[in-house]
Amino acid sequence: MATDRRLALITGASSGIGAELARIHASRGGDLVITARRQKELERLKTDLESSHGSRVHVIVKDLAEPDAPQAIYNDLNTRGLRIDYLMNNAGFGNYGLFHQQDWARNEAMIKVNVLALAALTRLFLPDMVARRSGRVLNVASMAGFLPGPLQAVYYATKAFVISFSEAIANELAGTGVTATVLCPGPVETEFARQAGTQGVRGFARMASAHEVAQAGYEAMLRGRTMIVPGSLNKLMIHGLLRLAPRGLVTRTSRSLMEKRVRVDRWPPTDYAERG
């Protein structure tokens, strides 16, 4: 397999799709900057990738809910003289329950991580890529971004932003040598379901592996595709059924898929998903 020494920055790399993206890039001979909140997991991944693939791996421990985190990451890399070729905005988390019963501070943190940090990092690194006429951006969204999400209202809305934002900048970047891709998976076997409190939800009965989703996103990024929806049934739902069905029906169906066996109005607020 051909090697690629390009340097990739991956957020939320301590587990799930982010860790799999790191493994895939390292297996191609690439070097990495991995960032998340959990230093122990990042250091373990660094050791594994350096020993298995000979990659150079740099660890930055940051919580992207902190408003200065994106600029701090950018400044740190500039100080080290590290040039980012691939930016993979994977960090994100969700929660479960009725919006009016949820703690606003936690929803605010979700918006900061899923929306503000993603947009800020993209804004920070894109000018350098455009100046070099070379670079790739991969933003991890979700099928959730295509429809309203009762019982995960804020999470679905954040992913709608990621899809719209990514499609727009992909258009703006045409002819620059830089591309933007948005990855829109369905349910994935990661820590998300357990930590977002969605165990037992009907829509999570079948889940794709984090590796196959990361592989689909990575390959689409390299090809410069604007959007990738992994899975033939997911593609059918997004490009066919959801576009044709009345909006009210789409919302009711979304609510049904998010229901649990226990009535949601008696379900206690849950802790929030790991954001890396």
Give the catalytic positions in this structure.
155
What is the CB neighbour count within 10 angstroms for residue 161?
18
Q: How many helices (H) and strands (E) does the chain have?
A: 11, 9
Q: What's the Rg (C-alpha) of the chain?
A: 18
Phi, psi (deg, nearest 5) at residue 246: -60, 145
Query: Tokens at residue 181, please?
Result: 């891709």
What is the CB neighbour count within 10 angstroms for residue 99?
14
Distance CA(47)–CA(55), nearest Å, equals: 10
Distance CA(122)–CA(139), nearest Å, equals: 9
Q: What single string gives the DSSP state of each residue in 143-157?
A: GGGGS--TTSHHHHH
- Helix/strand/coil percentages in the chain, nearest 5: 55, 15, 35
The enclosing H or E element of 190 equals none
Cβ atoms 140, 217 nearer than 8 A: yes
Distance CA(136)–CA(125), nearest Å, equals: 10
Query: Tokens at residue 224, please?
Result: 């410069």
DSSP state at residue 241: I
